[in-house]
Amino acid sequence: MTAANYPFVVQNLVLKDFKIRYRNMSLGVLWSLLNPFIMMAVLVFVFTNVFPDQTVKGFPLFILCGLIPFNFFTLAWSSGMVCVADNASFVKRIPLPRALLPVSNVLANCIHMLIQIAILLSFTLVLGYPITRYWLFLPLVWALEVVFVMGLVLATCAIDVYVRDLRYIVDSVIRVLFWAVPIFYSIDRVPARFRGWYEFNPITALTVSLRQILMDATAPDTRLLWKLSLSALLMFTLGWAIFQHLQRRFYERL
Amino acid sequence: MERIVFSGVSKKFSLSTQRHLLSGHIGSWFRRSEHQVLWALKNVSFTVRDGESLAVIGANGAGKSTLLNLATGLCEADEGEVRLQGRLAALLELGSGFHQELTGAENLRIYGSLLGLSRSRTNAVFDLIVDFSELGHFIHRPIRTYSAGMVLRLAFSVAIHADPDILLIDEVFAVGDQSFQAKCFERMLRFRQTGKTMICVTHSADLLRKMCDKAIWLDHGHLRLAGDLEEVLQAYQRQVENTAPLASPVSS
């Protein structure tokens, strides 16, 4: 098989994932719309009635700016990291580059993500926030997030073949991240001595950038963008290297 | 032209199963566990030239499938070198990659691309594949409604339309009912007559006589004999007859 055919393979795998996910749902794609809104409603209730937070204006959109990047991250990571171990027949029977599996898995989640971004933007407009030229930053920050997730998925799906309980560790990490990312609180409330480290977390960087672009109608912090680019590129390089190194023994390990 | 070259190829598999969990990995740092290793292939060399058809014979566990997997590039040799020239299609386990919830037509496109069919080629041979599989209107039903034979028929139809230079076949002759088997067989003979390269693994001597001209005999991972099909086949059958009365041929 020639490399020219790989895009067609990836397209087929992405489409397959998408069809399988939505074919047997009575509401179809609607489920993926409902999920962030349910979570948003809960958080809005808690933080306007139980622990009122007066420092933030426009709380529903504020939360959605954190929830949607976080949802994409957790969904892509947890489904991507098992894609090699759970597709043993692909690895053992089909002579294709193994990287096509994690790559198409992340891309399939990107379709899902695009739907959620569309919701986020419609919600922004419905609430009366204007479209500004800073919206042009949106593709950049999202693309960096995807690059980061791709690296993370490449690394962990390869390690998962060798260490099968990695998925439970990832589960716990995701739970911690929900609190460690400023989803329902503002980054300004994080003590200054932690904040520098917070910003290296790409989900935090994306969340903060989204709030600046959509709610404050400003450009995202340059410092933040640099940190986001740095962690995305580092993670991708590392993930690619780990995957290439470990994939040579996938056959024996599965 | 030399299509497939194995030079001094060895492949080993680890028999220890403990090291799939984190605790197993950590444990292995502390204690020296004796590493049990099985050599599935040991120092195997042979060459398949353009237009040749090679049979691989030997008992179960002799290393036949490992040899095909190495040729396909699914795993790497621990020693020696495997070289390959041309586009290869492997009929190893038909239908790996099929998804139960998707229709036959959807699976056809996905499986075809995995076997190397481009988009335009898929469109061109789509109807041919459906005709060959004899699935009719079932092609638009989910695979889970198919019988096992129908799934194999679809997989085989896709595979033989992938048009490779080299075809690897591992015990996939038992596809569908008799008339379909005859059709498949006729199809593979035609593939053979067009001067393509083949490696076949099967226990049916009759099929091998029709499909192949050369053979190698593997015995516990070692290359026992290589040469013309009839010669190797007879030597193999003599050995099988001689060891058959023994209680356990495996321990010989």
Residue type, position B137, single letter: H
User: At CA B148, angle to CA B179 and CA B137, rounded to 5?
Assistant: 75
Best of B13, B18, B75, B151 to disrupt the A interface (most A CBs within 10 Å) is B75
Which pLDDT tens digit goes with each residue over B145-189?
998 888 888 988 888 888 788 888 887 666 667 888 888 888 888
Q: Is B17 on the interface with A (CB under 8 A)?
A: no
Which pLDDT tens digit goes with each residue over B214-236?
999 999 889 989 989 899 999 99
Q: How far, rounded to the nearest angstrom, does the alpha carbon of residue B2 sit from its chain's CA centroid? A: 20
Q: Which is it for the CA torsion A106, A107, A110, A115, positive or negative?
A: negative
Domain chopping of chain A, boundaries: 3-253
Closest Cα in chain A, distance from residue B206 (Å): 27
| pLDDT higher than threshold 60 for residue A39 | yes
Beta strand B2-14 pairing with B79-84: antiparallel
| pLDDT higher than threshold 70 for residue A28 | no
| Of A98-107, A140-149, A228-237, B91-100, minimum mean pLDDT range | B91-100
Q: Which residues of A touch B114 (CB under 8 A)?
A: 9, 12, 90, 94, 96
Angle between helices A137-162 and A59-80 (to 10 degrees): 40
Closest Cα in chain B, distance from residue A5 (Å): 6
CA-based radius of gyration for chain B:
20
Residue type, position B190, single letter: R
Write down the pLDDT at residue B165.
84
| pLDDT higher than threshold 50 for residue B251 | no
Q: What is the ipTM of this complex?
A: 0.80
Which pLDDT tens digit goes with each residue over B115-127?
888 899 999 999 9
Cα B197 to Cα A168: distance, rounded to the nearest angstrom? 47
Cα B143 to Cα B99: distance, rounded to the nearest angstrom? 7
Write down the pLDDT at residue A93.
82
Closest Cα in chain A, distance from residue B111 (Å): 9
User: At CA B12, angle to CA A97 and CA B86, rounded to 5?
Assistant: 40
